[in-house]
Amino acid sequence: MDKSQSTGLLFEISHKDRRCHLLPDCDVPIKSSSELLDKKYLSNQSTGLPEIAEIDLIRHFINLSTKNMAIDCNFYPLGSCTMKYNPKRHERLGSLGGLSNVHPLQDDKTCQGMLEILWEMQNYLGEIAGLDGVSLQPAAGAQGELTALLVAAAYFKDKKEHRTKVLIPDSAHGTNPASAAIAGFDTITIKSNANGRVDMEDLISKIDDKTAVFMITNPNTLGLFDEQIVKITDLIHKAGGLVYLDGANMNAILGITRPGDFGADMMHYNVHKTFTGPHGAGGPGSGPIAVRKQLIPFLPAPIIIKTTDGFKLDYDRPKSIGRVRSFFGNVGILLRGYFYIRTLGPDGLKQVSENAVLNANYLLSLLKDSFDIPHGDRCMHEFVASARNLRKEKKISAMDIGKRLLDYGYHAPTVYFPLVVSEAMMMEPTETESKETLDSFAATLIKIRDEDAEFLHNAPHSLDISRPDEVRAAKEPVLRWKK
């Protein structure tokens, strides 16, 4: 079906004097801005926005939408992104006027319902983490990391300890070192061993009295739980440092083990992943943090407290780091996380992780005879396969396989991450997929492996476009339309 009539750029389908949204006539007897304001404030140039009628606008965007793959249409085993189903009740409840039309600066007593939900959410996230205090403020996981590191810096400053180093395993996501640098720390890389776990010898050699924080993702980015974790957290604590858990992979351990119980002192959640907010082609997310008792005074303000007089935003936090964004937090996503937790309850959350891990291990077992799986035949909620042998033997890359999957109606796994595995294909099926889906996905992957290499280099073959020229895009960036 040709969609090109409606999917030219908005600026190309713009037609002078067409309108979509009309405004009422002005009903107050007041002069216009051009009469009341000095002309130095007034713009001399048009905004250049497109002029489009409602039906053309709708056809444009609806037809564009059909060029996307999405969880509601396709299996989306994108490793490390936890692309689970987004329940529809979340969207309905999240857009209730009584929630979506609450202003962030209205007085506490006029929004007690909202505060009650968010107060409970603070408590649930503390309980799931096994930690004592929670800030719902950070807008995304990366901002949660930064917030927690700023909390750690303020904590050591308050204790008058001069600690400058953050230790980060080489398998960590790039946000970890980037956040540490903005928080003012020096980053020290810790090697992984052949099993994909922290190299203890390397870690021990790098811990000293300047160690502020050790950041660990556990389960790690290879989908492995590091069973040395208690030993690691003990070592860091003995040296006077704090342990940060990157909570990207919480989907594997809900109700099974808690970061606070295995020695983490701070962590962030990716609410949009673990508790399923719609990913919206890149966001929004929500990255609340949970911390141990001694760090609570340093959390951003406000946090919600319950008093005999109802729920209140508590700004009276003299040691607080301040805030990392305006207003309370990414409430829309926090609400969806709350709906999910309330829908599942304690049994349900545990089953989420059990089924996420079962599905990942099952998919791994279906693929292990056909693909190279460098880190053993068991995993947590995700695993990393490698196309390195295929590359050597048939010159097929992970990218080729990923692109070909698109033709079959599957989203590609995460390719080329983590960096510690060459030709990585990281797969995370999540708990909201069935055995049949995994069976047919695995069968498709195995079929692709045996397809003609040249044919794969040119995949995808059936989508709206073939492979884009990324070099051209980066060499002479065209970031906007121009007349």
Partner 1 sequence: MDPKKLKYAKTHEWALIEGNICTVGLTKFAVDLLTDVIYIDMPDVGDPALKGDSFGEIESVKAVSDIYAPVEGEITEINDKLVADPTTISQDPYGKGWLIKIKIEGKQNLDHLMSYDAYEKQICSDAH
Partner 2 sequence: MSYLLNTPDDKVDMLKKIGATSIDDLFSNIPDSVRMKRLLDIPKSLTEIELTRHIDLLANANLSAERSVCYLGGGSYDHFIPAVVDTVSSRSEFYTAYTPYQAEASQGSLQAFFEFQTMISQLTAMDISNSSLYEAGSSLAEAILMAMAITGRSGTVLVAETVHPEYRLSFTTYLANLEPKVVTVACPGGKMCLNDLASKLDDSVCCVIVQHPNFFGNLEEVEEISKLVHAKGALFVVAYDPISLGILKKPGEYDADIAIAEGQCLGNPMIYGGPYLGLLSCKEAFVRKIPGRLVGQTVDRNGKRCWVLTLQTREQHIRREKATSNICTNQGLFALRAAVYLAAVGPKGLTETAELCFRKAHYLMDLLCKIPGVKPKFNLPFFKEFTIELPCNAQLIIDSLVDDGILAGLSQARWNPNLVNVMTIAVTEKRTRSELDNYAAAFGAAVNSFIAHDKSKAFKS
Instruction: Report the alpha-carbon distance of residue 301 to residue 304 in Å, rounded.
Output: 9
Residue 412 per-residue DSSP state: P
- From the list partner 2, partner 1, none, pick the one residue 196 interacts with, judged by a Cβ distance below 5 to 8 Å according to partner type: none
By beta-carbon proximity to partner 1, the closer residue of 333 and 420 is 420
- From the list partner 1, partner 2, none, pick the one residue 305 interacts with, judged by a Cβ distance below 5 to 8 Å according to partner type: none
- From the list partner 2, partner 1, none, pick the one residue 279 interacts with, judged by a Cβ distance below 5 to 8 Å according to partner type: partner 2
CB of 264 to partner 1, least distance (A): 32
Half-sphere exposure of 77 (CA within 13 A, CB side): 31
Residue 198 per-residue DSSP state: B
Half-sphere exposure of 139 (CA within 13 A, CB side): 8
By beta-carbon proximity to partner 2, the closer residue of 412 and 448 is 412
List beta partners, residue 189.
168
- List the structure tokens of 2: 């040709």
CB of 473 to partner 1, least distance (A): 8
Q: Are 291 and 146 in contact (CB under 8 A)?
A: no
CB of 447 to partner 2, least distance (A): 19
Contacts 24+ apart (CB under 8 A), 3-7: 3/63, 3/66, 3/67, 6/56, 6/59, 6/60, 6/63, 7/60, 7/63, 7/64, 7/67
CB of 52 to partner 1, least distance (A): 34
- From the list partner 2, partner 1, none, pick the one residue 431 interacts with, judged by a Cβ distance below 5 to 8 Å according to partner type: partner 2
Residue 425, helix vs strand vs coil = strand
Q: Are 405 and 411 in contact (CB under 8 A)?
A: yes
CB of 412 to partner 1, least distance (A): 16
Query: 289-291 and 133-135: which strand pairing?
Result: antiparallel
- From the list partner 2, partner 1, none, pick the one residue 104 interacts with, judged by a Cβ distance below 5 to 8 Å according to partner type: partner 2
By beta-carbon proximity to partner 2, the closer residue of 387 and 393 is 387
By beta-carbon proximity to partner 2, the closer residue of 281 and 393 is 281
CB of 237 to partner 2, least distance (A): 14
List all residues 6 or more positions away from 422 whose beta carbon is below 8 Å from its beta carbon.
386, 388
What is the length of the chain?
Answer: 483
CB of 78 to partner 1, least distance (A): 18
By beta-carbon proximity to partner 1, the closer residue of 204 and 419 is 419
- List the structure tokens of 101: 């039309």
Which positions touch partner 1 (CB under 8 A)? Answer: 416, 470-471, 474-475
- Exposed/middle/buried for residue 11 (C-beta within 10 Å: 0-12, 13-18, 19+): middle
By beta-carbon proximity to partner 2, the closer residue of 305 and 392 is 305
CB of 276 to partner 2, least distance (A): 9
By beta-carbon proximity to partner 2, the closer residue of 174 and 204 is 174
- From the list partner 1, partner 2, none, pick the one residue 84 interacts with, judged by a Cβ distance below 5 to 8 Å according to partner type: partner 2
Residue 212 per-residue DSSP state: E
By beta-carbon proximity to partner 2, the closer residue of 322 and 453 is 322
- From the list partner 1, partner 2, none, pick the one residue 237 interacts with, judged by a Cβ distance below 5 to 8 Å according to partner type: none
- From the list partner 2, partner 1, none, pick the one residue 318 interacts with, judged by a Cβ distance below 5 to 8 Å according to partner type: none
Instruction: Report the alpha-carbon distance of residue 286 to residue 329 in Å, rounded.
Output: 8
Helix axes 435-449, 398-407, angle to 10 degrees: 120
DSSP secondary structure string, 432-445? TS-HHHHHHHHHHH
